[in-house]
Copies of this chain bind each other. A is one copy, B any other.
Amino acid sequence: MDERLKHLTDVLDAFRTGDLPLGDTLERIDAAYFERAGDVTVDHDRARRTGAPEVIYGEFKTAEQILKTFRAIRTRGDNVLATRVHPDTYAAIEDELDGAEYHPVARALTFRQKALPEVETSVAVVTAGTSDAPVAEEAAVTCEFYGNPVTRIQDAGVAGIHRLLARAGELREARVVIVVAGMEGALPSVVGGLVDKPVIAVPTSIGYGASFGGIAALLGMLNSCASGVAVMNIDNGFGAGFLANRINRL
């Protein structure tokens, strides 16, 4: 907020000394509150406001659109994270993405040119089954993109609870735990009973019959009998990674 005060004080000083006419003064006062103009400005401000560099959500974008946005951000000197980039989409633009890395399981594209202060504490990403991997990897890649070390604990579903218990030590060393599960979505409850760290639960659309595209897992997680579990939207691995980074950086 200080920044605004400083800006306003400067503007008022220039106004009082006559360096700034009334019209310009009013305009600059406005600029302290509202963001004007084109999209770039807006994004600039969002980064300041919420601390997050821009992300490209690739799901509904053409290869061309992704490429164009990618280049624009790269040119600004920022890092790039593009999620939901289908392998075919990537294949189509692969040649023009020098230095970018494609993560096939996560279907994510990353490019880093600007160093981020790395975090020392880690985020654990736990999955119930192998089918949950794409969502879990999206979360993990997002965490790593923002500079967080990630511990992956895979295929630790509740029907073989010993697999999870065997890694309880690693789990407890993480500062934030992301749990990704489809079907009955029971894993976050078990994990939530084992650790004393924030647990971010991500339901996946993996399942059959009455899983209803992830509703069963979503409800299971919302109703978790373990305290300290918060829930993301179905398949929202990026959101979980984004939030884990925020928490881990506190």
Residues of A within 8 A of B (CB): 1, 5, 8-9, 12, 15-16, 22, 25-26, 29-30, 33-37, 39, 42, 45-46, 49-52, 55, 59-60, 128-129, 131, 155, 157-163, 165-166, 168-169, 172, 175, 183-186, 189-190, 192-198, 200, 203, 205, 207-212, 214-236, 238-239, 242-243, 246-248, 250
Q: How far is the CB of A98 from chain B (nearest CB, A)?
A: 27
Chain B residues, CB < 8 A from A246:
196-198, 228
**Contacts A207-B223, A209-B214 given; does A9 touch B34 at CB 8 Å:** no
Tell me whether A233 and B222 are in contact in the complex, defined as CB-CB below 8 angstroms, given that A42-B160, A46-B160, A186-B189 are known contacts: yes
* Contact B198–A243 (Cβ < 8 Å): yes
Contact of A219 among B15, B129, B197, B220 (CB under 8 A): B220
A-B contact pairs, 7 of them (CB 8 A): A35-B162, A42-B162, A50-B195, A184-B225, A196-B246, A208-B223, A230-B239
Per the bound structure, the CA–CA distance linking A248 and B222 in Å amounts to 22
Are B222's CB and A220's CB within 8 A? no
Measured between beta carbons, the chain B residues less than 8 angstroms from A221 are: 184
* Alpha-carbon distance between A215 and B219 when the two chains are bound, in angstroms: 8
Report the bound CA distance from A217 to B208 in whole Å: 15
If A50-B195, A231-B232 are given as contacts, then 14 extra A-B residue pairs at C-beta distance below 8 Å, sorted by A number, are A34-B162, A39-B155, A42-B162, A42-B163, A52-B228, A158-B226, A159-B192, A159-B225, A159-B226, A185-B186, A198-B246, A205-B209, A209-B236, A211-B223
CB pair A184–B194 under 8 Å, yes or no, is: no
- With both beta carbons as reference points, the residue of chain B lying nearest to A196 in the complex is identified as B51
Are B5 and A220 touching (Cβ within 8 A)?
A: no
Interface centre among A46, A208, A218 (most CB of B within 10 A): A208
With a cutoff of 8 Å between Cβ atoms, the chain B residues found around residue A229 in the complex are 239, 243
Report B-chain residues with C-beta under 8 Å of the C-beta of A45: 160, 162
Judge whether A242 and B227 touch: CB under 8 Å.
yes
CB of B185 within 8 A of CB of A184, answer yes
Q: Which of chain B's residues have a CB closer than 8 A to the CB of A22? A: 9, 12
Contact B243 A238 (CB under 8 A): no
Q: How far is the CA of A46 from the CA of B149 in the complex (A)?
A: 27
Docked complex Cα distance between A247 and B247 (Å): 7
Q: Once the chains are docked, how many angstroms separate the CA of A196 from the CA of B114?
A: 20
